[in-house]
Structure 1
Amino acid sequence: MKPLTRQQTTRLRHLLDQREAATRTALAREGAQRSNESFSELATPVGDEGERASAQQAMDENLAMTAHLVRELGAVAQARVRLDVGKYGVCVDCHRDISFPRLLACPTAQRCEHCQTIHDRTYGQESHPSM
């Protein structure tokens, strides 16, 4: 494969900008929602065990979403560093080029499709107890 063209790089940089802006907006919305929920919880008398469990689940979901959004911002920042040092679009595992269509679909991709499949099979699934 040949390296990315200037036009492709410009397009991908723009996609990274869009992704960062959308992620920052979502993060701000999550923060505002969490603030409003925290205030309403303080203003509401303590409920029964079921209500507390529901409130805890909602808080856990909000924290998980916030963590996801923060990781996404980190991925965008890392992609920008790779762009700046000339390693963007190169697989971190096999050092081959990552296809332009893959980068369009996921501008923060660090691996080619083949290596990402192997990575997902190895690390992508946490074990979950089953009955």
Structure 2
Amino acid sequence: MTPVIAFFCVLAGLLTWVYLVVEPSSEAGGRARADLTAHRVPASYLGLAPKPVCVTPVVPLHTLPFEGQLLEPNKVYASFGAVDGKLTLWDPSTQESFPVPAGKVRVMPAGTDEQGSAVPGNCPARVRG
């Protein structure tokens, strides 16, 4: 096999992988984003299972450190779980993710875990100072 033919075989394999793996995951991510924005429980994809949650600080809100976005306790966020003491939340209205200290908030499910089921438009806010 000549190097040119080998190159095109590798290239064809790479393009096939991109088409079969990368593109479907971006479509699944787009569907999950659309579901969350429309207040529906999204399907999991590639092992990620974003859960609609209500997040209430257990410390006074003004003392809660933030990175990128302030926590609004009356909003429904998507949670991707906690890692290294930080809870990653995704805000459907801004379409941005941000961390909050997991030990300084209480997380409650918003709606059910059933894919496609309705999620409330907001959370009952119970905020300390």
Q: Same-fold call, TM > 0.5?
A: no
TM-score, normalised via structure 2 length: 0.32
Which structure carries more helix by proportion? 1
Which structure carries more strand by proportion? 2
